[in-house]
Amino acid sequence: MNEMRVCCLLLLALTSAALLLTGCRDEKIIERMGFTRTVALDFPEGEEDKTKLKVTISIPKSEPVNARIVLTTIAQSNKEARIMFSRQNNRQIVSGQLRTVMFGTKLAKDGIWKHIDTLVRDPSIGSKVNVVVVNGNANALLQRTYKQFPSTGEYIEDLVRTERASTEIPISNLHTFSRDYFDDGIDPVTPLIKESKEALSLDGIALFRDDTYVMRVEPQKSLLFNFLHKNFVTGEVVMAMPVQDGEQQRVMLSFVASNRKIKIRHPKTIRGGKDITVNIHLKIRGEVLEYHGKLNLQKSSDQRELEKRMKAYVEKETKLLVEKMQKQRLDPLGIGQHARNSMRYAQWKKLDWREMIPDLKFNITADVKIKDIGKLQT
């Protein structure tokens, strides 16, 4: 029995020592790690060789507050750049805390899938990493410091999250981009940001043909795009309608609910895009929080008139937006998915959907209702 007690005590002592040693080893590794928060990718300035990348990373530091390490290098790939970064400092660069990957305009127009593919294949990188296009140079933007805001990488992350919550931009991360890239009935989209001397700002929505950035939706049209793109419920939205009665109509709606329904009609034998009719119905409900115009919203008749004006505005502007996307042969709305579901898959595979997009017939109708005008006074 005594020998057994001695063996048990010895085993416990060895186990405790091993745990303590393991804990010490992990602590030393963490101290030497550089957790990449943001990555910016561009073509090197002044070089025509598109096989090279200019890569900048931002690594947050615990002290002082909002401090960071910014490293830049030229490499053949993002993975090679990570190895080079590890050689430049006393930290082992890891990507487990990556939050945002940014692409400059020139790189985005050349195609970004091969760069996203390397991130998707990395098991240490999460699928919810934000994908962003910078209107200009992504490296230069990430190297900037905005004193009134936290570190630039965190600032970008917060900006994207805030604008997404207000439905100014759709969700765009490694998962959604990869999903839409491989789906033959929809194209990916990402937020577009730009820098100024004092701050960063949303510069609209970047629309892709496969993995190539092709078209920009202006910030003023982002809400209209979102009406077409998805169903959503949000806090507040602003509609700036054309001049009427001598002044511009501006309406701020709160507690907004938007719902879209898409129906596809076509004959059994489809010869081209003109044979396919796309009916999009938008149902928009909200409370008027603020109104600038000559209507008296205390009157039911003027409320109905405002609803008619908003309906006409949404229908006209969304139709113009769809026509622009058709000219570029883009399908960010997923019309191809609905068309594919309306026919046998063998029939769908025979269609050259990309080339049919410009000839599709679109009918867009909007049903806009004011639920309440609250305490609005005129």
Phi, psi of 261 (to 5 degrees): -130, 130
Is residue 181 over pLDDT 90? yes
Length reported for the chain: 378
- CA torsion 134-137-138-142 (nearest 10°) is -120
Helix (H) or strand (E) holding 92: strand 92-94
pLDDT (tens digit, 9 = 90+) per residue, 315-372? 999 999 999 999 999 999 999 999 999 999 999 999 999 999 999 999 999 999 998 8
51-106 residue pLDDT tens: 899 999 888 776 666 677 888 999 988 888 888 877 777 666 677 788 999 999 99
Residue 112 has pLDDT above 90, yes or no: yes
Q: Which domains does the chain have, with CATH numbers?
A: 32-217 (no CATH), 218-378 (3.30.300.210)
Higher pLDDT, 225 or 196: 225
Q: What is the pLDDT of residues 53-66, one digit of tens each?
A: 999 988 877 666 66
313 confidence band (pLDDT: 50, 70, 90):
very high
- Please check the confidence at residue 23 and state whether its pLDDT lies above 50: no
CA distance between the termini of the chain: 93
Cα separation, 314 vs 221, in Å, equals: 10
Q: pLDDT tens digits for 117-169?
A: 999 998 889 999 999 999 999 999 998 888 777 778 888 888 888 888 777 78
The pLDDT of residue 1 is 52
Per DSSP bridges, beta strands 100-104 and 130-134 are parallel
What pLDDT does 34 receive? 61
* Residue type at 19 in one-letter notation: L
Task: Kindly state the DSSP code that residue 116 receives in the 8-state scheme.
Answer: H
Residue 298 has a pLDDT of 87
Q: Tens of pLDDT along 234-275? A: 878 888 887 776 677 888 888 889 999 999 999 999 989 999
HSE-up (13 A, CA, CB side) for residue 270: 25
| Nearest-angstrom CA–CA distance, 370 and 368 | 7
- DSSP category for residue 343: S
Tokens 């900037």 locate to: 144
CA–CA separation, 155 and 136 (whole Å)? 18
Q: How far apart are CA 139 and CA 36, in angstroms?
A: 15
Check residue 277 and give its pLDDT. Answer: 97
